[in-house]
Amino acid sequence: MKAPNLTSKHFLYGYSRGVNIISAVLLLPILLLLMTMTFDLGRIYLNTIFAKEVVLTTAKIARSTNPASEVPDMFAIVNPVSGESSSITQNREDFWAHQLDSSHSLYHGLDYFTSKELRVFNLGYGFIASLNSSVAFPIPSPINSVDDLGGKTNCSISFEFLETPDPLIPSKNYDRLYTCRCEIPLFGLRIFNAFTGMEYLTVTQTAYAYQSGDISP
C-alpha cells in the first residue's frame, strides 16, 4: 500500500484548524459575558427612563385636585414575584409601615397617609403595572440579599414633604418631592461583584409636586 503523501500544507491546515477551535473555546465565554453585560446596560438605561416616566406621571396625578381612584388599603398595594416567600412579601408590606414610623429612615413626615395620597399611590403603582406587569413592588424593606428581588426589577414610589408639615394647619397645600426608586438585579455585571460589591443596581428619579395637597386625613 502506498503511504499517503503528507505535505507541509496538510500539517499547516491541521495546525490552523486546531488554533481556530482553541480560539473559539477561549472567546465563547468572553462573548457570552459581553452579551450579558450589554443586556444589563440596556436594562439599566430602559429602567432609568421607566422610573422617570413613572415619577413624572405620579407627580402630575398628585397635582390634580381629585385623582379618580378608590382609596386603597396601603398594605394592598403589593405586586410580589410569583412564588416568593411570605417573609419577602411581608417585607414589601413593611415598606409602607416604615414610612409611618418616625424612628425609621423611610419615615415620610407623618404617621398616616391622607386619602388623596393613597389614591395617588394607587394610580402611580397602577401606572407601573400598565407599563410593565413583571415589575414587582414595592421594594422589600429591608433587602437582605439580591435573592429578595426574585430576579425581577423592583420599584417603589414614595414622597417627602419639602417643609415640615404643621398639624395645626392641615388645610395648607404642601409641596412634595416624589421619588421612584428601582432595584435592578445584575447578570453579566454581577461577575464583578468581588470588586464592586454590587449584585443589583439602584436607579432613582425624582419629581417636584408643587402644592400637591393638604394633610387632612
pLDDT tens profile 129-158: 999 999 999 999 999 999 999 999 999 999
Find the farthest-apart pair of alpha carbons in the chain and give their distance in angstroms, rounded.
110
Q: DSSP E strands: which ranges in 2-153?
A: none
pTM (two decimals): 0.82
pLDDT tens by residue, the chain, 217 residues: 555 555 555 544 554 555 556 654 555 555 555 556 676 787 899 999 999 999 999 999 999 988 999 999 999 999 999 999 999 999 999 999 999 999 999 999 999 999 999 999 999 999 999 999 999 999 999 999 999 999 999 999 999 999 999 999 999 999 999 999 999 998 766 665 555 557 899 999 999 999 999 999 9
Sheet holding 154-161, edge to edge: 154-161, 176-185, 200-209
CA 199, 39, 43, 134 torsion: positive or negative? negative
Cα dist. 49→39, 45, 91, 169, 181 in Å?
Answer: 16, 7, 26, 37, 12
- The letter for the amino acid at 72 is P
- Return d(Cα 10, Cα 16) in angstroms, integer: 10
Q: DSSP E strands: which ranges in the chain?
A: 154-161, 176-185, 200-209
At 15 the pLDDT is: 47
| 85-105 per-residue burial string, b: 16 or more CB within 10 A, e: under 16 | eeebeebbbbbbebbbeeeee
Q: What DSSP designation does 103 have?
A: T
Residue ranges of domains in the chain? 42-209
At 114 the pLDDT is: 97
CA 71, 131, 54, 97 torsion: positive or negative? positive
pLDDT tens profile 40-58: 787 899 999 999 999 999 9
